[in-house]
Amino acid sequence: VQKTLPEPPVSEPRDHASIIDVANLAGVSPTTVSRALRGLKHVSPLTRARVEAAASELSYVASPAGSGLASGRTFSVGVVVPIVTRWFFAQVVAGAATVLREAGYDLLLYNLVDASGREQFFERMPLRRRVDAVLVVSLPLAGHEVSSLRDLGAPIVTVGSRDPAFPGVRIDDAEGTRQAIRHLVNLGHESVAMISALEDDDMGFAAAIDRRIAFREALPDATQNPHIVAGMWGLQGGQSAMAALLGGEKLPTAVFAEYDEMAFGAVTTLRKAGLRIPGDVSIVGFDNHELAVMADLTTVAQPVREQGEVAARLLLDGLSGASDPETDVVLPTHLVVRGSTAPARHPHGLRRGVGPAVASSP
Amino acid sequence: VQKTLPEPPVSEPRDHASIIDVANLAGVSPTTVSRALRGLKHVSPLTRARVEAAASELSYVASPAGSGLASGRTFSVGVVVPIVTRWFFAQVVAGAATVLREAGYDLLLYNLVDASGREQFFERMPLRRRVDAVLVVSLPLAGHEVSSLRDLGAPIVTVGSRDPAFPGVRIDDAEGTRQAIRHLVNLGHESVAMISALEDDDMGFAAAIDRRIAFREALPDATQNPHIVAGMWGLQGGQSAMAALLGGEKLPTAVFAEYDEMAFGAVTTLRKAGLRIPGDVSIVGFDNHELAVMADLTTVAQPVREQGEVAARLLLDGLSGASDPETDVVLPTHLVVRGSTAPARHPHGLRRGVGPAVASSP
DNA sequence: CTGAAAGCGCTTACAG
DNA sequence: CTGAAAGCGCTTACAG
């Protein structure tokens, strides 16, 4: 008799127990194992218990490939984000992840990063037959992108877009912007700039567009020449946009940033330039980023993680056929007033004394 | 003859083209289609072109379930992170995502969130037969977790852990900590506290442990009573830890934070308390978080996204059988000096000039 | 409540 | 260089 050879030292693909192993151990057919383990009706409690015991003894988990092929379901969901390292997107992903996990779905993450990644994604459509549903975050979808997604034949839900093609969750960006501008106007600011990554932005939010339009409309007097400076995105975008404003003829008394990370960039540049916030310039952001409190930043708060959660639930509804494709959930925003905004100094001479709040300068 | 019923109005699972459809259109066998599309050898250029044309005409993409079942490969990789919303983890994920996408792998994200999520994950092992390889980020793995992962029979790579069970990428946390402490000591600080989320932390980094130990060892004089205050994690952890220090008998002249987000919390609390940085307290963080520049924070920089990239490459090596399981890649750290640190004020009267203190360099 | 049979869409040896 | 056959591990009607 030949002796058993020693096992290879490290992990080679192990043989996992199959449904047949479980069936044999439990003394039933594979069909019954399948039914019992999926919690279907019409299995006697005794049988079910026996099957479960056998499955657990063998550490059996149904092969996703096997069941996927047979059933057409993957039990996973694709989540498409522009840039997962941006705070907003990570929050949305986390919110969705929680809900999906509870429902037993895996999360396939597609991080588009830039225009070329986006193109590749929609061309190759790696989602095809890989996912049961798709969550698309913050992308204003082009026509061919909409049809690519439609062709998936799977439920699609958007976050932060208002594309009528799919159900979605979002905030009212125009209203949020108005909340910010109203605050600045009430403080007496007459020279307000907006800094935005919009122009430069292949990955542009739908939100960015709405915020810009609302910004223009919300300023009381069109002659005040709202100033939109496009930069790169994120912190660096905010820095360079603010630098551009500093290099301009007349510094605005207040700046509205498309989102908090740009506001942070503006804060950074202002501090480096030795200017005080809000003494010299007031700043309002958008999002209520976790670190807005450190920057003492006045900002328009939106529920972020919740948008991911709600969207995931809509997706699950779609999967169970219980959804209304017309759904458009709009979550509320509110202004959080912190120390980065103060009444306007009126730069044209009339210095009405206004005690700016504490500006911590390094 | 019965008339065809009208199609349902919206997206029901579409029938995707199968390999047979492509084979018929191209006038070859399914076997040849399979070979041609996967770029295998032994297909004539003409045949390959014909197959590719047919596939593209039909928008054919091989069913992952079908090929997975037949080949045993999934072309996807699991990435396990404690909390994806933390800056560090999002960066690592993004780094890995880029490399994996280039190699044609999908990324399955597992966001553990808390101890219960972690437990569930290792119990259910949703990775089983779902992924070809696994990237585990920053978790110090318990024995049973190591064996769960081993049982997957798939390549495993870690980031930010130094578990000898698997190849991995990391930094030298002890050395990074020494860089920070040396800086403070050179500035004359004799009362340095460390704030850390360690004690509280079910999701604890391996890194946190190393940093704490190194902190204790790096301080030149043991009598100086290094003060470790455990708090919650993240910004709030830093806030409450700093608040605890403020409530203590003697405020340290410098604080070393386990990582930048905790440092940000400390900064926030100090500013609210009206204390100046670095005038009253110097602060050093760890990570060089994107927003450290806004906080003007001195910090130990580590390559974060790169760790994700390198780890993903190790994984791909493992998949192609080209890897050395002993691999332990250590990436360098360096101190970035900004405005949050300054020479110590000596609170106890005896103002010895800011001398270069003697550091006990290991 | 339970099971035998067919089939989901691929890939893998094996032939030629 | 190409193809016919078998089989990967499940689930789904269909019977009983």
For residue A40, give the nucleotide whose C1' atom is nearest its CA. C1
Any bridge partners for residue A329, and if so which? A169
A268 CB-near residues (< 8 Å, 6+ apart): A235, A238, A239, A242, B293, B294
DSSP B150-215: HHTTS-EEEES---TTS-EEEE-HHHHHHHHHHHHHHTT---EEEEESGGG-TT--HHHHHHHHHH
**If you average pLDDT over residues A133-156, what whole number do you get?**
91
For residue B72, give the nucleotide whose C1' atom is nearest its CA. D8
Among chain B residues, the shortest Cα distance to A130 is held by: B64
Each residue's pLDDT tens digit, A201-227: 566 677 888 898 899 888 876 556 667
Which has more confidence, B161 or A276? A276
Give A358's contacts in chain B (Cβ within 8 Å). 271, 274
A21-to-A17, A55, A57, A95, A309 alpha-carbon distances in Å = 6, 9, 11, 38, 38
Give the residue among B327, B326, B331, B317 at the shortest CA–CA distance from B103: B317
Give the residue among B105, B175, B157 at the shortest CA–CA distance from B307: B157
Check residue A200 and report its DSSP letter: G
A85/B13 Cα distance (integer angstroms): 33
A20/A237 Cα distance (integer angstroms): 58
Element (H, E) at A159: strand A156-159
Q: Do A16 and B128 touch (CB under 8 A)?
A: yes
Give the residue among A114, A203, A106, A108 at the shortest CA–CA distance from B100: A108
Give the residue among B78, B32, B82 at the shortest CA–CA distance from B54: B32
Which has more confidence, A313 or B327? A313
Each residue's pLDDT tens digit, B261-277: 999 999 999 999 999 99
DSSP A265-309: HHHHHHHHTT--TTTT-EEEEEE--TTHHHHT-EEEE---HHHHH
- Chain D positions within 7 A of any protein Cβ atom are 1-5, 7-13
Which has more confidence, B332 or A124? B332
pLDDT at residue number B226? 67
pLDDT band, very low/low/confident/very high, at B362 (cuts 50, 70, 90): very low
pLDDT band, very low/low/confident/very high, at B112 (cuts 50, 70, 90): very high
In residues, how long is chain B?
362
pLDDT at residue number A202? 61
∠ CA A35-A105-A287 to the nearest 5 degrees? Answer: 160
Each residue's pLDDT tens digit, B170-204: 999 999 999 999 999 999 998 899 998 866 456 66
Which of A97, A108, A358 faces B111 most closely, judged by CB atoms?
Answer: A97
Check residue B23 and report its DSSP letter: H
- Residue B358, CB, strand D, below 7 Å: no
Q: Do A98 and B111 touch (CB under 8 A)?
A: yes
A17-to-A9, A25, A277 alpha-carbon distances in Å = 21, 11, 64
A280/A251 Cα distance (integer angstroms): 9
Residue % of chain A over a pLDDT of 90:
66
> Scanning the structure block, which residue is given the tokens 């006045």?
A298
Contact B109, B97 (CB under 8 A): no
* SS3 state at B34: helix
Q: Do A84 and B97 touch (CB under 8 A)?
A: yes
B291/B297 Cα distance (integer angstroms): 9
Residue type, B44: S
**If you average pLDDT over residues A238-247, what whole number do you get?**
92
Residue A193 has pLDDT above 70, yes or no: yes
Give A126's contacts in chain B (Cβ within 8 Å). 61, 106
A164 CB-near residues (< 8 Å, 6+ apart): none
- CA dihedral sign, ordered B128, B134, B139, B142: positive
Each residue's pLDDT tens digit, B94-109: 999 999 999 999 999 9
Residue A230 has pLDDT above 80, yes or no: no
B241/B85 Cα distance (integer angstroms): 21
Element (H, E) at A228: strand A227-230
Q: Establish how many alpha carbons lie within 13 A of residue A54's alpha carbon, considering only the half-sphere containing its beta carbon.
A: 25
**If you average pLDDT over residues B199-217, what whole number do you get?**
77
Q: Return left, alpha or beta for A329; rule: phi > 0 is left, psi -120 to 50 is alpha, else beta.
A: beta
pLDDT at residue number B42? 85
Each residue's pLDDT tens digit, B28-84: 999 999 999 998 888 899 999 999 999 999 989 999 999 999 999 999 999 999 999
- Residue A117, CB, strand D, below 7 Å: no
Residue B352 has pLDDT above 70, yes or no: no
B94 CA from C14 C1′ (Å): 44
* SS3 state at A156: strand
B135/B103 Cα distance (integer angstroms): 15
pLDDT at residue number B356? 38
Give the residue among A62, A75, A72, A70 at the shortest CA–CA distance from A20: A62
A102/A177 Cα distance (integer angstroms): 35
- Residue A34, CB, strand D, below 7 Å: yes
**If you average pLDDT over residues A311-329, what whole number do you get?**
86
Contact B235, B267 (CB under 8 A): no
Residue A27 has pLDDT above 60, yes or no: yes
- Residue B40, CB, strand D, below 7 Å: no
Element (H, E) at B79: strand B76-81
∠ CA B95-B96-B98 to the nearest 5 degrees? Answer: 70
Token pair belonging to A55: 């499955």
Residue B8 has pLDDT above 90, yes or no: no
